[in-house]
Amino acid sequence: MMWMKAKLFELDAWDIVNGVAVKPEKTKEQSTWTKKNQLAYAEIIDHLNADNMAFVGGAMPETHEFDGQYFCNLLKSKYAADNNVAKFAALEMFLGIKYTSIGSFLSLIWAAKQKLILAGMDLGNKRKNLMALAKLPCDCFQSFRDVVAMGFSSETFESLLHRLENYSVQNKIAADKDQILEPEALLMTLTLDQFNFPHFQKPFKICSHCQKTGHTADSCY
- Boundaries of domain holding 120: 84-171
Least confident of 61-65, 122-126, 196-200, 204-208: 196-200
**Domain total of the chain:** 2
Question: In terms of domains, do 74 and 27 share one?
Answer: yes
Instruction: Give the three-state DSSP class for 206.
Output: strand
Question: In terms of domains, do 102 and 154 share one?
Answer: yes
Residue 151 in any domain: the answer is yes
Amino acid found at 96: G
| Predicted local distance difference test score (pLDDT) of residue 173 | 83
Alpha helices in the chain (DSSP H): 2-10, 14-17, 27-45, 50-59, 68-95, 102-118, 125-134, 138-151, 157-170, 183-188
Residue 48 in any domain: the answer is yes
Question: In terms of domains, do 121 and 159 share one?
Answer: yes
Question: In terms of domains, do 24 and 59 share one?
Answer: yes
Least confident of 26-30, 77-81, 135-139, 144-148: 77-81
Residue 191 in any domain: the answer is no
Question: In terms of domains, do 30 and 95 share one?
Answer: no
Residue 178 in any domain: the answer is no
40-47 mean pLDDT: 83
Is the four-CA dihedral 138, 116, 148, 178 of positive or negative sign?
A: positive
Question: In terms of domains, do 94 and 66 share one?
Answer: no
Instruction: Give the three-state DSSP class for 45.
Output: helix
Question: In terms of domains, do 103 and 65 share one?
Answer: no
Residue 177 in any domain: the answer is no
Question: In terms of domains, do 64 and 104 share one?
Answer: no
User: How many other C-beta atoms are found inside a 10 Å radius of the C-beta of residue 61?
Assistant: 9
What is the distance of C-alpha 60 from the center of its chain? 30
Amino acid found at 29: E
Angle, CA 135 vertex, CA 132 and CA 137 arms, to 5°: 130
Residue 221 in any domain: the answer is no
Residue 28 in any domain: the answer is yes
52-66 residue pLDDT tens: 777 777 777 877 888
Residue 166 in any domain: the answer is yes
Give the C-alpha separation, 152 to 158, whole Å.
12
